[in-house]
Each structure stands twice: as C-alpha cells, then as structure tokens.
Structure 1
Amino acid sequence: MALNFHQLHIFFTVAEKGSFSSAAQALHMTQPAVTMQIQSLEDHFGTKMFLRSTKKIELTEAGRTLLPYAKRSMDLMIETEREMSRYTHMLEGRLQLGASLTVGEYILPRLLGPFNKEFPHISVSMKVINTTQIVEEILSHQLNFGLVEAPVSHPDFHVEAVLNDELKLILPAGHELLKKEAITIDDALQYPFILREQGSGTRSVMQEEFQRQGYDASTMKIVMELGSTGAIKSAVEAHLGLSILSQSSIKHEAALSLLHARSIEGIRFTRSFYSIYLKSTLLPISAVTFLTFMRERELAQWL
C-alpha cells in the first residue's frame, strides 16, 4: 500500500496523544481503525513506529525520525488549503462553528453578509454560547472550531487572533458622567455595574486590565450578572447600572442616543477575537475559507 497523508495524520495524532484510544477519539475513528492504519504505515516502511505496552506507547527510533516529517506534511496540507481557499468561490458546503456571545450576536452577523456574497453556496450554522462552553464542545467533538473573545490556554488547541476589538464604559442617556470631559476609573467605580457572567471573554478582558492597572475588580459594585449582552444593554438603558462592553455591540443604541460609549482615562480594554480548534483536527474547506476571508479582508468597513 502506498504511503498517504491520512496515515501520516493518524501517526502524528497517536504520537501526540500518547495512546491509540485518545487518538481515535480525536480523529472520530474507532480504535481498531487507527491500529490498522498504523500497521499499514509500519508495513510500508518495514519497521515498527511504536513500542507498545499495557500502560503506554513510546516512539521507536524510526518513529522519532518520521515524526517531524509527519508534522511538516500536516502543516503543508493546512497551508495548501488556506492558499487554495482564495479560489473556491463556487465551493458548496456547510460552515458550522461556535461563537461566543459578543462575536456571535454583534460581529459575525455583519460579516456573514459579505462572506455570503463571495461564497453564496456555503450555508452557515452558528451556535452562540460562551467561551467556556465552546471549549468544552470542541473537546467533546461537538464543534469543529470556534470564535471566542479571549485567548484559550490549552495544549491541544490551535489559537489564532483574527479580529481586534475594544471595550468601552457604557452609560445610559442623561447619565451625569456624560457631563465630564474625562472619566477616571475612580469616577466609574462610584456607580453600580451590570456585567456578564464569570467565564465570559468580555468579563475576563475587563478583569485582566483592572489587575494590570492595580485595581481589584472584586471591589466593583456588581448589582447584576446577566448571560447576554442584549440583557445588559437593556438594563443599562433602564439606568440600573453601568457596564463595560464592546463598542461594536451598542452601534444601534448609540445611533439612537439610547446608550453612550466612553473611554476611561488611562485605561484601554483592547482585545482580540480568536479562532480556536484542536491541533489534531483538519478543518473542512468551508471553515478554512471563512478564516481566510477574515484574515485577508479589511473587516472594519462592515463593523
């Protein structure tokens, strides 16, 4: 049997995971199918790639030699798909992704229209949940990839910044702080706040910036924790408190002068939105095409 990329992908995943069962789960294959492909690879080269024991597997010298070539073949395949995705305008398929709440509710809807014009035959299925849930669903193979509001630290994930964003202090119409030319953090902290729940990317960015500035976010007067940006906007509009949200999420309300976004003097809540997916996963061409679209277009014109 001739050597093929599929075998190299399986070999690399087994080596990375350290077991046939973990590799099978990551690859959506049965363990016997993974074992069969590794045996075919070993038959092709006429040597063993793994030393098997009841508790663990280890690479043989031949396996250690093959490993960097398998990694290079995966990198080359990913690069090939990325480059060729520029030309797949007649591509048909279904784009399935998870998006954290701010991305899914306020960013991606403005990008999907232009994307659909360029790639009209790709249908989109988007699940809008928070960052923690997206990570869990990717790990359990319910999602292929996600777009989230804060970097994810996990050894099995490929993480790439694809969009930039800035959070602002959000105030209701007529709030007394709007009379000030400059709003300090001490000014803002005199008022109650309405925030997203723990685990959301928006809240994580706010807390990390407060910590860098020497402020303890736990001293904030948090009167509500709400699970959606829309609910927070409604509560702020009703003068129940202030919030810190993406400026892009109040574009409509700002145009109607219902809400106002202001900077806090000396503090910038800047962040990126990130694409995340398992290193062992080769994304479908529809997903590669969408990520290439985000990397290579001037997205500000739509946001």
Structure 2
Amino acid sequence: MEWLNYHHLLYFWTVARAGSIAAASQELHVGRPAISMQLKSLEAFFGTPLFLRRGRRLELTETGKLVEGYASEIFRTGRELVEVVRGSSLGRRQVVRVGIADVMAKLIAFALLDSAFSEDDDVHLVLSEDSPRRLFAALAVHELDLVLSDVALAPGLDVRARSHRVGSSTTTLFASPELAARLAPGFPGSLDGAPFLLPSRESAVRASLDRWFESERLRPRTVAEFDDSALMKVFGQAGRGAFPGPTAVAEQIVERYGVRALGVLPTVTERYWAISPERKIAHPAVARIVEGAAAVFPS
C-alpha cells in the first residue's frame, strides 16, 4: 500500500485556505520553492492537478476541493487527538460543531442545543451562523457535526447527510406595547398598512406569511427584511414594526424583548430540521439534541 505524505497534505491544505503560496509561506514559515515542490509531489501522488492558477491566486480543482475536505477532517481530528492525549482544557470534552441557519429563531436554536449537555459528560459547543446553503456545504466537507435549519437538505445537493425533522411551530405576531395598543383592536385587519418587519425570502416561513397576507387581503407596510431573526426582534422591540415569531417560544419572546403577542396564525407554520452527516446519529451530544426536541415541541 502506498502511504500518503501528510507533510505534503498539510502544505496543500494551508495553501488552499490561504489562497496563495505566498500567504501559506508566511503562515508556515517555509520558503515558497519548498511549498511549490511539496504541492507538485502531492499532485504527482494523486495523478491529477489540485489547483488552477487565476492571476496571483490559486483555485482548487474539483479534485482539489475533495482533497481539501478530507484534509480538514484529518487535521481537525489530529487537533482533538493532541488535546485528549495531552489532557488540555478541552481533553475528555466532546467538541460538537453546530451550524445554525441565520433565519432560524435563536430561542428555538438554544432550546434544541441545551439538550446537548448532560451530567455524565462535558460538552464543548462550537457554534457558527450562516445561510443554510453555506452550512450544508460546510457539512459536506466535515467542518460541521450538525446543522440546525428551517429547511431540510434538498435532494439534489451532493451532500451525504440526513435531515431529521425535530419539530414545528405555528406563528405568533408580536409588537412593542405602544404599537400593540394600536393594532390589537380589530386584529388582524388592523395590520393593513401597519409597519411590519419580515424575515428574508430565504426563510421558509416567509412564503407562508405572504400567502396568509394575501388570503386575508392585507398589505402591511414593509419596514425592513432580515436574514438575522434576532436582529428583527430588536427592531420590533424598538417599535419599528410588528414581527413574526414561533409560537413555541412566544412566552420567552414576550419576556426577553418586552413585547406583546397580537395573535396566533394557525396556518403559518415553520418546521425545524437537524441535518447530520450520517444516517445513524453516532455522536452522543448530537443524538441528545435530536431526541430532546420532544421537550421543545410537545405534541
């Protein structure tokens, strides 16, 4: 069996992340000619180019993207190995990397993630926030252990993962106390022409909201649209407009942001998904997140 040279792989991985040999040279404290030779040796080993030159930058070929994904997982595992063996502050702790869709309600995300913690072990969560599309891409190259999203993994995406539906919630509309005092009488008709804060069209619930407005023949005045659900609530707290939120965490929204609930929209529902990179959820903390969803969304 022909063994892979991991020094070559490290140089390749550093160049892939840095975008150029010059930047990688500074990071590794290794001369450019040496890095170039290592890259040529690795390409010869695989029998195919890993980079394409675009001006001063290097872009990964399709094979290069595949190798970079595996390299990220290899070096991530290596770091964890060192932490465990040396007994560092993270040794014996379960490191769980979770991506959260930016449009997903953060109170829902917290309630789901809180299930990861157990008295029997120690968990270190590493959380990132981005669009579902980018999070799924990170999941594909093993940069994440789990993605929490309001949309499931599309069948056409080339990602080896499974979508686990963890719950759903109807939608409640909220407003600051001053605005709620104006809108509560005659709700929902009072929303016609009223200032409103909307999730972006990337959000799964946006289409349901638009259909509800159309069915009720309401045309609220859109003040702003948000990718970040938490920022939308801050604007709502300041009285800039009414805004939607999951009924499952309506009490927490009222308490945290000092707003009032205007009413529930039973036909506007939002589903929540946990997407893992394997058919069987092996990571104990990830399994607890999925299993603990029943407490967040009681039937």
Q: What TM-score, normalized to structure 1?
A: 0.56
Q: Which residue of 1 aligns with 2:39?
A: none
Deviation at 1:161, TM superposition (A): 0.6
Against the structure 1 CA distance between its residues 165 and 123, is the aligned structure 2 distance closer, same or farther, given a 3 Å change threshold? same
Q: What are the superposed Cα offsets for residues 180-222 of structure 1, whole Å, 9 maximum, x if unpaired? A: 4xx23x43232121123332x3xx3131353377559996522
Q: Does 1:208 align with 2:214?
A: no
**Where does structure 1 lack aligned partners over 5 or more consecutive residues?**
1-19, 31-90
Against the structure 1 CA distance between its residues 284 and 133, is the aligned structure 2 distance closer, same or farther, given a 3 Å change threshold? same
Q: Which residue of 1 aligns with 2:269?
A: 270
Where do residues 138-149 of structure 1 align in structure 2 (5 Å cutoff)?
138-149=139-150
1:187 maps to which of 185, 190, 197: 190
Q: In 2, distance between residues paired with 1:135 and 1:121? A: 26
**Where does structure 2 lack aligned partners over 5 or more consecutive residues?**
1-61, 73-91
Q: Which residue of 1 aligns with 2:245?
A: 245
Q: Which residue of 2 aligns with 1:285?
A: 283
Q: Is the contact made by 1:144 and 1:277 (CA closer than 8 Å) also made in structure 2?
A: yes
Against the structure 1 CA distance between its residues 229 and 250, is the aligned structure 2 distance closer, same or farther, given a 3 Å change threshold? farther
Deviation at 1:233, TM superposition (A): 1.9
SS across alignment from 2:167: strand
Q: Is the contact made by 1:101 and 1:128 (CA closer than 8 Å) also made in structure 2?
A: yes
Deviation at 1:240, TM superposition (A): 1.5
Deviation at 1:244, TM superposition (A): 1.5
Q: Is the contact made by 2:197 and 2:242 (CA closer than 8 Å) also made in structure 1?
A: yes
Deviation at 1:273, TM superposition (A): 0.7
Q: Which residue of 1 aligns with 2:172?
A: 168
Q: Which residue of 2 aligns with 1:124?
A: 125
RMSD between superposed Cα atoms in Å: 4.0
Q: Which residue of 2 aligns with 1:41?
A: none
Against the structure 1 CA distance between its residues 247 and 274, is the aligned structure 2 distance closer, same or farther, given a 3 Å change threshold? same
Against the structure 1 CA distance between its residues 261 and 130, is the aligned structure 2 distance closer, same or farther, given a 3 Å change threshold? farther
Where do residues 35-184 of structure 1 align in structure 2 (5 Å cutoff)?
92-101=93-102, 103=104, 105-113=106-114, 115-155=116-156, 156=159, 157-174=161-178, 175=180, 176-180=182-186, 183-184=187-188
Deviation at 1:115, TM superposition (A): 3.8
Q: What are the superposed Cα offsets for residues 214-238 of structure 1, whole Å, 9 maximum, x if unpaired? A: 5599965222123423322222222
Q: What are the superposed Cα offsets for residues 273-292 of structure 1, whole Å, 9 maximum, x if unpaired? A: 1012446x775523543345
Q: Which amino acid aligns with 2:235?
A: A
SS across alignment from 2:261: strand
Q: Is the contact made by 2:194 and 2:241 (CA closer than 8 Å) also made in structure 1?
A: yes
Q: Which amino acid aligns with 1:299?
A: V
Q: In 2, distance between residues paired with 1:223 and 1:153? A: 31
Q: What are the superposed Cα offsets for residues 230-288 of structure 1, whole Å, 9 maximum, x if unpaired? A: 322222222211111224555445237831223356x5222221012446x77552354
Deviation at 1:26, TM superposition (A): 10
Against the structure 1 CA distance between its residues 191 and 220, is the aligned structure 2 distance closer, same or farther, given a 3 Å change threshold? closer
Q: Which residue of 1 aligns with 2:199?
A: 196
Q: In 2, distance between residues paired with 1:217 and 1:229? A: 25
